[in-house]
Every structure is written in C-alpha cells, then in structure tokens.
Amino acid sequence: MSYKVKKKIGDYIYVLFVAALALISFFPIVWIFLTSFKEAREMFSTPISILPKIFSLDNYKMIFQDIRFIRYFGNTLFVTVVATAINVFISAFAAFGFSRYYLKGKKGMLLAIVVTQLFPGSVILIPLYKFWVMLGLIDTLWALILTNAISRLPLSIWLMYGFFETVPREIDEAARVDGCSKLQTLFFILFPLSKPAILAAVIYTALNVWQEFLYSLTFTVSQEMYTLMVGLYTFIGENGVEWGALMAASIMTTVPVIAFFGMTQKQFTNGISGAVKM
C-alpha cells in the first residue's frame, strides 16, 4: 500500500472521527431545540420522531407568559453584569500592580493565584456559605455576585497581567513626562492598549457567571432569587415534568451564551494570545 493511499485512508478516518464527536456533542442540543417546538401529546408518541409533526410555538409562549422565567432571566442578567464589572475592575488594578510595581515574592504570588484555579468550587462552598450567613447575605443576589466575581479573579488577573507585560514601560515614562499620574497612565494609556485582554476577561467571566449553577443552588432559598440554571428545576413539579416548557426554557437559556460567544470569539482569542505571549 502506497504512502498516498495510507494518508488518504488516515484522512478519512480522522474526518469520520471528528464528525462522530460533533454528532455526539451537538445531537442533544439539536434534540432539545426540535423538541421545544413539539406539542405535549407528541413528545411521548410512538414511533419516536426527531422532527416535530407540527411546529408549535406554544412552549415559548408559555415560558414568556410565566413570571418565574422572566424573573430568573432578570436575576441572571443582573448577577452576570455586576459580577463581571466588579471582577474586571479588581483584576485590572491587581494586574497593574503586579506588572508595574516591584513586589517581593511577585512570582510566588502569581503562581499561587493561578494554582487556586485548580481547586473546584465545592471545596470552598461550606466556608463561603457560613461567611454569607454571618453577613446576612444568604438568599440575596449579592452573595452570588460577590462569589462569582471573586472566584473568577485568578484567570482575569493572569490575562491582564500578561497583556500589561507586553506594553513597553517606555510608554509609561513618556506619559509621566507629559504630566500623567500613575492612575491616569492606567486609565488613558494602558487600558486602551490592553482592550483585547480586558474584553477576554469580560467574556470569560460573563459566560461562566451566566452558566453558574452550584453557588446559585446553595446560596439561594426563595424562588424570587433563583437564576436561570436553578430556575429550570421549577419546571419539574410534583405532578410531573413540564417537558415542553423545560425544553423551551433550556433553549432560551443557551441562546444568549452562543450568541455572545459567537460575536466576541475573535476578541477572546486575541486577548488570550496576547496574555500567553508574556
């Protein structure tokens, strides 16, 4: 068997392997999407059909008329926006300090910050719960905001620090010669130059906060404080599962994530690549 034939067979096997992985990954999403358009009586009819016999928007009408879903969506949006803003604000100042000031043991501190990402969120769940109880923040959105903002700090700091390190310090010196303070240098020089890293931190934090489940489940008690990920469980009741509403709500929870990442993928890639070059 010649080399060209072997290579062609290898390419076919590779394509089939990738296609199989794609099918396994995307089939559940496609199934949920198509099921969300089915009528209730069709979901368990036999023989099973992937495509709905009649495309119906009843499930989507149901969730948009359900005050619970609107509240969960609003809670999630509020937590995501505020937590992301706090995270990026703190990360920017921390990264600036690491990059532009001489700190004894700086490498060790940066390593410790990165290492914290190796521990799962469940490790700090009980201490955090007791801490929020002590502060009276359990069953409030602020417990979720602060937890999400702080838990995503390590990677955000690393992203911005890596990008700040690529900016020549001569630019800082030129700004100071022109009369800029260190704070003005940060806001008017470094921030604009480091926009890719800041956008990458925003994207990373926002996507993770939007999809977060564990903290939301633990720190909220009343349904008024639920986020989307926890709120989906409310469609599972004592009398059974509202499958149609659950499928539609799942799609409406996923669409903002896919759309946001699709629109910002290039910026995220640029920010990551800039941080890695340090």
Which position has the higher pLDDT, 118 or 230?
230
Q: Is residue 19 part of a domain?
A: no
Q: Is residue 89 part of a domain?
A: yes
Query: In the predicted model, is pLDDT for residue 83 greater than 90?
Result: yes
Token pair 């409310």 is found at: 234
The Cα 96–Cα 277 span in angstroms is 17
Q: Is residue 144 part of a domain?
A: yes
Query: In the predicted model, is pLDDT for residue 60 greater than 90?
Result: no
Q: Is residue 55 part of a domain?
A: no
Q: Which pLDDT tens digit goes with each residue over 110-121?
A: 777 777 777 777
| Whether the Cβ atoms of residue 230 and residue 217 lie closer than 8 Å to each other | yes
Q: Is residue 22 part of a domain?
A: no
**Per-residue confidence (pLDDT) for residue 149, from 0 to 100:** 92
Domain hosting 153: range is: 62-276
Q: Is residue 8 part of a domain?
A: no
Buried b (16+ CB within 10 A) or exposed e, 260-274: eeeebeebbebbbeb
Q: Which pLDDT tens digit goes with each residue over 166-191?
A: 878 788 788 888 787 877 877 888 78
Give ∠ CA 175-181-184 in degrees, rounded to 5.
Answer: 80
Query: In the predicted model, is pLDDT for residue 237 greater than 80?
Result: no
Q: Is residue 66 part of a domain?
A: yes
pTM for the structure as a whole: 0.79
Cα distances from 51 to residues 32, 39, 104, 194, 250, in angstroms, run 11, 12, 63, 47, 18
Cα distances from 151 to residues 8, 10, 128, in angstroms, run 47, 43, 11
Q: Mean of the pLDDT values across residues 223-242?
A: 79
Query: In the predicted model, is pLDDT for residue 146 greater than 90?
Result: yes
Count of the separate structural domains present in the chain: 1
Q: Is residue 50 part of a domain?
A: no
Query: In the predicted model, is pLDDT for residue 238 greater than 60?
Result: no
Rg of the chain on CA atoms, in Å: 24
The SS3 of residue 111 is helix
Q: Mean of the pLDDT values across residues 193-209?
A: 85
- Residue 265: pLDDT band (50, 70, 90) is low
Q: Mean of the pLDDT values across residues 121-126?
A: 80
| Whether the Cβ atoms of residue 177 and residue 203 lie closer than 8 Å to each other | no
**Per-residue confidence (pLDDT) for residue 142, from 0 to 100:** 94
**Tell me, what CATH number does 212's domain have?**
1.10.3720.10
Query: In the predicted model, is pLDDT for residue 87 greater than 80?
Result: yes
